[in-house]
Structure 1
C-alpha cells in the first residue's frame, strides 16, 4: 500500500502500548502517512503467553499490513481439529479446509515472540520507546497533552490507548471505574517440542472432561502451543514450583498424551493466568483519545479472537482516519468496532461457560454433541467470526 491511500492530512499520533494492537496500529497508521510514536511501560517487549492462534480474519489484516508472507513462514500448519474424552476416546476429528476455502485464508498459530518481532520490524524499532509509562492525558488545543513517567510531555493530535487489559486510560475514556470479571477458570500455557505421542503434527488436538480442557496446537518451529484449563476459585495460590504437581492432580487419570505433556513441560516458561473479561462498553472514544485492543474489549480466549480483534481495530482506525475529519473518523470507528467486539466478547464468555462448567448440564450436553460433530457447526461459527468485520475490513482500502 502506498502512502497516497490516505486523503487526510497527516496526524501526529501517540500510541500507548507496544503489544499486538499497538504495533499493528503503528504500521497501519504509518502506511497511511501519519507520524506515529509508541510508548510502553515495560523495559523489554516480552509477550505474555507462549503463542496465539491468528484466525483468518487476523491473517487478512496482517496481509493488508504487508506481513502475510512473514507470518505464514513463521506459523504452524493447522489442517484439522479434534476432540477426545479425558481418557483419550476420540469424539470427533474434521478438516479445517472448508473454513479456509470459505474465507480464502488459513489460520496461523504462531509464537507470540515471533509475531511481536515481525510487527516490531514492520513498525520500526526507532518509533518505540520502552520503560516509560503514560501517567495521564489532558485536552490541549485541538489535540491532547500526554504526560509520561520520565517527566516529558508530548502534544499529539490523537492518542491511541492500546495498553492492554490493565489499561490505565480505559477509565478516562469510559468515564468511570471499569472492573474486570473473573471467568471462573485458570489457564496454564506454554510450548513443548512436537512429537507424535502428544498429537498429530498438523492438528489442533483437544481433550475435554470434568469441565476441564487440554489443548495442543502446532505453532511452528517444530513445537506445539499447549494449554490446560481448570475451573478454580479466584485467587488460588500461584507457585511456579508447584505447577507440575498441580497439573498432575487436576488431570490424574487423563489420557497418555496429557500425562506425557505434564511430564515434559518446562515450568520455567509456563504462564499461569486467571482468565478475566469485561462487560462490553458502548464507547471507545473520548475527545482525541481512542481505545484499541484489550484496552477496549478484554475477552475470554475461548474464541481465539483477542489478538485478531486488536488487529481489526488497528486497520479500521487507520481506514476511518482517511476521511480527514478526525472527530467524525473516531465516531465511525466507535460505531464499527464497539458492536462488533461486544458480540464477540459475549460469544466468548458464553463459550467459556459451556466449556468450563458454568452450567454443568450444558457442558455435559456439549460433550454429547461432540460425539456427533461433523465439523459443519464448528466451521460455520468460525466463518461467522471471520467474515463479520464489516465493509472497512472486507475491501482492500
Structure 2
C-alpha cells in the first residue's frame, strides 16, 4: 500500500513507522524546512510511552526522558510546599514509567527512524483530490503525489481536516497564553527528579526534567487572545506576570535565554467532532483532536491514534475505507473525552471561576497524592494500549 502522510510531527512520524513495519510504502510531507517543532518539550505518560515501546524505540525513548520520581505543588507567592508525593503509583498501576522529553529530540528520533529519504520538507499542501482507487495531493510548488491512502497529521490548522469535513473548523481560545522553553537544571527551582509547579492567581510556573541536565519549563498566564508580542522584548511579559513571586520562580526567570529556547503560544483547542474520514483520507493527531495541554495528553493521544491505525491495518482485510471507518469508530470518543477533560482542568487551574480555583488551592494543601494520581491514571485507563488493565 502506498501511503502519504501530511505532517512530520509526533503523530505523522509514529504512524509512518507503524505502517512501515507492516511493509507499506510511506512518504511524509511537511511544510517545515528543518526540525524546529513548536513547543520545547512534552509529557509522555505511560500510554504514549507504550506506543513508542511497541514501535521498537523503548531504549531510545528512555534515554531521552527525564527521571521523574515525584510531583509537588508550591505556593507561588511564599515558596511553601503545598504537597509533595511519589509518582510510583502511576508506574505500578500502568506498568510503565512516564518521561518528559524535549520535543525536538523525540521528533528527531522518529524522523530518523522513518528515514530521511522518506521525508520531504518544505512541501506545503494545497489541495487533495481522490478517485475510487487513489488519492492525489497537490503542493504549493506545483508538485503532486499520488497514493492509496492519505493521512492528515497536519496539526491544529489542518487543511486535511477542512477537506474531510467539507468546511473550515473554528478553533476555540482556551483563555491563556503559555510560555515555554528549556533551561539548565537548577535545584533552587526544584529537585532534579521532580515535576514542580508553582501556583497562585490562576497562573502556573512549572518545571520537569528532560535529558541533558535540562528543565523543561512552562508558564501559564490567563489573558485575552491577540495581545501583541515582540520577540525583542524577551521575557518581559513573564517578569510582569510573576513579579513578587517566590525565589524559585525568579531563579527560573533569570535562567531563561530567549535567544536559545523561548516560545510564546496562545492555547486553543477544537470542539470534538466525530467525522475523521472521507474515502481514502483520514485524520490523525491534532488535526483530529486539537487539545489544550492541561492534562498532558496531546502527544499521547496522537500516539494512540498511530497504534490503533497500525493494529487495524495489520488485522483487517475488507479494504482501506473499511479500515479507516473502524479506526474512526475506535478513536473519536476517547479523543473527545480527553479534549473535554483538558478544558475542565484549564478552567479549574486558571482562575476562570476564582472560587473554583481557590478551592483547588485549598485542596492541594491537604493533598496526599491520592487524588492527583487518580486523575493521571484516569486519563490513561481507557487507552487502547492498556492491555491487561491497571493494577492497584
Length-normalised TM-score, structure 2 = 0.96
Among 76, 91, 113, the alignment partner of 1:86 is 76
Judge conservation of contact 1:174–1:281 (CA < 8 Å) in 2: no
How far apart are the structure 2 equivalents of 1:320 and 1:309? 17
Match of 1:122 in 2: 113
Match of 1:30 in 2: 20
Match of 2:154 in 1: 163
How far apart are the structure 2 equivalents of 1:241 and 1:367? 35
User: Deviation per CA, 1:200-255, whole angstroms, max 9, x where unpaired?
Assistant: 00000000000000001001110100011000111011122223222111111111
How far apart are the structure 1 equivalents of 2:387 and 2:6? 27
Q: Secondary structure at the match of 2:180?
A: strand
Question: Which is worse superposed, 242-251 or 356-365?
Answer: 242-251
Q: Secondary structure at the match of 2:289?
A: coil
Matched, 1:12 2:2: yes
Give the drift of 1:346: 0.2
Superposed, which structure 2 residues align to 1:38-77 within 5 Å? Answer: 38-77=28-67
Judge conservation of contact 2:94–2:386 (CA < 8 Å) in 1: no
Question: Which is worse superposed, 149-158 or 180-189?
Answer: 149-158
How far apart are the structure 1 equivalents of 2:287 and 2:345? 21
Match of 2:194 in 1: 203
Judge conservation of contact 1:160–1:291 (CA < 8 Å) in 2: yes
Question: Which is worse superposed, 156-165 or 323-332?
Answer: 323-332
Superposed, which structure 2 residues align to 1:169-180 within 5 Å? Answer: 169-180=160-171
How far apart are the structure 1 equivalents of 2:66 and 2:361? 27
Matched, 1:289 2:277: no
Q: Secondary structure at the match of 1:216?
A: strand
Judge conservation of contact 1:312–1:393 (CA < 8 Å) in 2: no
User: Deviation per CA, 1:305-364, whole angstroms, max 9, x where unpaired?
Assistant: 111111110111111122122222111100111000000000001101111112111111
How far apart are the structure 1 equivalents of 2:127 and 2:334? 28
Matched, 1:257 2:242: no
Give the drift of 1:393: 6.0
Q: Secondary structure at the match of 2:43?
A: strand
Extract unaligned runs of 5+ from structure 1.
Answer: 1-10
Extract unaligned runs of 5+ from structure 2.
Answer: none
Match of 1:273 in 2: 265
Matched, 1:394 2:384: no
Alpha-carbon RMSD: 1.2
Match of 2:233 in 1: 242
Give the drift of 1:383: 1.3
Matched, 1:332 2:326: yes
User: Deviation per CA, 1:266-324, whole angstroms, max 9, x where unpaired?
Assistant: 11220000000010011111111100001111110001111111111011111112212
Match of 1:320 in 2: 312
Match of 2:123 in 1: 132
Match of 1:145 in 2: 136
Q: Secondary structure at the match of 1:14?
A: strand
Matched, 1:359 2:349: no
Give the drift of 1:387: 2.6
Give the drift of 1:159: 0.3
